[in-house]
Amino acid sequence: MMENKLVRISKFLSLVLRHKPETIGLKLDDEGWADVEELVRKALAYGMIFDRPTLRQIVEQSERKRFSFSDDGKRIRANYGHSIAISLGDKPSEPPEFLFHGTATESVPDIKKDGLGPGTRQHVHLVEDEERAIEVGRRHGEPAVVTIKARLMHENGFEFFKTESGIWLTKSVPREYIVLEGSKGLEES
């Protein structure tokens, strides 16, 4: 029962910290940070009941590291996946030679034609290993993995940001940086 409650609260946090803070009248700063006390208070008024220890449990137990606290513990934010405009506040990082994007096989023709865009989010999400990309692809249907020439993109001026959970973010991936040949999952049934 407790796990279901934590999942419900985590989904609520995703809503208000990634997409619609206005749902509860929450103010996020330019980097997506919210005051923890304000979040708890406004969530309670909305009917979502949790406290600071529950938030800490969600942050610490999340395998995907969706959320983090500020160093002083007074603020919380979503680490990635925003559909609202925020500044990452982090310095760009140099990516490895290749990164991977998990998607559904039905999306591959559009990716071949147009490259990768953020969709409803602010950034394209990439990972360092193909297995993790396949897991992501499965959430969208029959999985496909697209290989990205990340280091070459970086050398050509594209910025990459690495989240605490190991997800790499970039604004877009033009098709000339996409390697479809040899990418795993494209032929899997």
- Above 90 in pLDDT, residue 155? yes
Q: What are phi and psi of 104, to 5 degrees?
A: -95, 145
Answer with the residue of higher pLDDT: 174 or 184.
174
Tens of pLDDT along 9-52?
Answer: 999 999 999 899 999 999 999 888 999 999 999 999 999 999 99
Q: Which residue has the tokens 């990439």?
A: 126
Tens of pLDDT along 51-62?
Answer: 999 999 999 987
Q: Which CATH number fits domain 99-179: 3.90.45.10, 3.20.20.410, 1.10.3720.10, 3.20.170.30?
A: 3.20.170.30
CATH architecture, domain defined by 2-78: Orthogonal Bundle (1.10)
Among candidates 71, 72, 14, 4, which has minimal Cα distance to 39?
14
- The structure's pTM equals 0.64
How does residue 184 score in pLDDT terms, banded at 50, 70 and 90? low
